[in-house]
Chain A
Amino acid sequence: MSARALLRVRRPGRLAAEAVALVIAAAVAFPLYWMVLSAFKPAGEIQSTEARPWTLAPSFDSFRRVFEQQEFGRYFLNSLLVAGTVVIASALIAFLAATAVTRFRFKFRTTLLIMFLVAQMVPVEALTIPLFFLMRDFGQLNTLGSLILPHLAFSLPFAIWMLRGFVKAVPEALEEAAYIDGASRTRFLWQILFPLVFPGLVATSVFSFISTWNDFLFAKSFIISDTSQSTLPMALLVFFKPDENDWGGIMAASTVMTIPVLVFFVLVQRRLVSGLGGAVKD
């Protein structure tokens, strides 16, 4: 234990700070707690104006309603397929591009880097209209491709920018040694560099996964008639009704939609924090 830690333990304000932290943690977690709780509440309790923070009769009715209505399972798979494709493809493409801009010196390199930076700032939402016409012209409306392609393009600049630090961190001596030992460039790229950069790829993937999984605007704009190609956000809206919202269904669907991201986050949590640190420091 360092001297500073000892000092800190004796601070009188520390217990108060910890109490504040715990209260805030509880407040921040509360919406998620309420979501899961409401998903398990029987219909009668949800409709009651009591709003009790517990339930004595948990039921799966809302979940059953969610999975029975509107091909929810299909939507779930669609979402998973779109996000999965974007994550894998953008990781591979960004890895190649990040390697190019960090391990080679060539004309326009700096210009390209600045362009990737600027590209990150482009408000994707503003491009919905031209993308809509582009997808229509290529006959991609109502297909999952119309969701995969734009998200792939939009997650690339950030992924390249973030991976740059990880690729840079691999010592050049290693690269030279590999070539001297007779490794081809492709072999170095995939069998030496790729595994070394993999932790960075994981951290980067979190962002592309989340932005794709969360997408609401494109799903709403590009999947206009063929609901079999819809993704989860659309499934959720089904439970909003003009007269009375099916809150149990909405909360159950929200729970199902949130859990995969939570699992993903917990799995990569450590890498994410260190990855952020690395990207920011760089």
Chain B
Amino acid sequence: MNHFLRILFVLLLARPLVRLWFGVTVRHQERLPLKGPAIVLANHNSHLDILALYSLFPLTLISNVQPAAAADYFLKNRLFAWFATEVVGIIPVIRGGITAGSDPLSGCKEALSQGRILILFPEGTRGEPEMLSEIKLGIWYLYRDFPEIPVVPVYLNGLGRAMGKGQWFPIPFFVDIAIGRPLPWLSEKTLFRTSIKDALLHLKQKTILSTPGQQ
């Protein structure tokens, strides 16, 4: 990963787009982990999600933050793969679970043992805007190996509308981001999965403007 290109990317593209074109409100910015190793878990509706998450971190720390992303999608052609790995700084993950002889999460584990902050989209793919898809179990396996690190849920509201799956131009909408408290480790897979979903849905409520009925 090229640190200089990464900082330029965040400074010239991610931040202006997220802060000026959209305009974000962040709830509980102080809960965002600034020191690794840590995992940031976010819902996923748009390619802009990663830009929005990058724009939350100070520029000086940005090269310590890396997102896990689907290898089959981002390594499709050489130019795109160069951009995704060198500039955006993704850690490629092969989707579809463990196959013989290779651990799809090895890149993520390496990043965490190097003290990086890992961004994970536990739904695995961009779903319908503002609908939470099923949580994949990769995060459970990762957390099992690093039980002492904080896993912080983040909900992003509005980016799926701005540029969802299949759309290639970002339309301005106000974006609301809510950051939650670190999730406790649960050894029971389904319970852990449910706790992630509950945490994200709880944060989703906070990103929606209060209605008269809810006051």
A binds B: no
Chain A interfacial positions (CB closer than 8 Å to B)? none
Chain B interfacial positions (CB closer than 8 Å to A)? none
